[in-house]
Amino acid sequence: MSSPKSTPGKKLADALAKDPIYQMMIKGNVKWANIAEMNNKRFPSNKTRKVRSRSPSPSSKGNATRSNHYNMNVKDAAEILEGFKVPDLKMRKGIWENFPVALVTINDGNGVDRYGVEWHNKNFKEWQKTKPESKKEKENYKHWSQVRLFHSLRQYPRQYKILPPRNPKQLFVLEMVFKKK
């Protein structure tokens, strides 16, 4: 039996703890698209990249009016992924069969398959009642689903590229990656 330090959940938690973009996303005070835009402006290349220390913003500290899922930390991300098995997402339908989302076609006219990933409201409401395995998961179902979806898609880098959302309804844009011949 392996030690707790080598579990996939622990490794992911450590990686996420060091990821400034994920940390801003978890705090919930910046939208994904804004994070990507800020990141591109602040860090034009790895050579000129300066590491800044980040302290929690005043709005993320103990604000009782905020939802619990905005205050989740990396330890919670490890909890969310503990025991979670990444579903088979080799085919696009695996995404909406395993997560309460819809893929809406985006036609940019350049022949690249892109989809806006949005919540599928009917499935979300039904699944929130039936799928959670704990009270904490049920209370934070949207966040748990989003973390698991994002984590799952990142396991398929040869098939999917995750891009910033283009409108407020979208969680993100998914671009199909094709092998170069």
- 57-115 pLDDT tens trace: 333 333 333 333 334 456 678 889 989 999 999 999 999 999 999 999 999 888 899 99
Q: Would 61 be classed as within a structural domain? A: no
Q: Would 36 be classed as within a structural domain? A: yes
Question: Would you place residue 6 in the very low, low, confident or very high pLDDT band (cuts 50, 70, 90)?
Answer: low
Q: Would 62 be classed as within a structural domain? A: no
Q: Is the confidence at residue 135, as pLDDT, over 60?
A: yes
pTM of the model: 0.60
Number of domains the chain is built from: 1
Q: Would 12 be classed as within a structural domain? A: yes
Instruction: Answer yes or no: are the C-beta atoms of 118 and 45 closer than 8 Å.
Output: no
User: Could you list the residue range(s) of the whole structural domain that residue 145 is in?
Assistant: 4-53+67-176
Instruction: Answer yes or no: are the C-beta atoms of 128 and 145 closer than 8 Å.
Output: no
Mean pLDDT within 26-32: 62
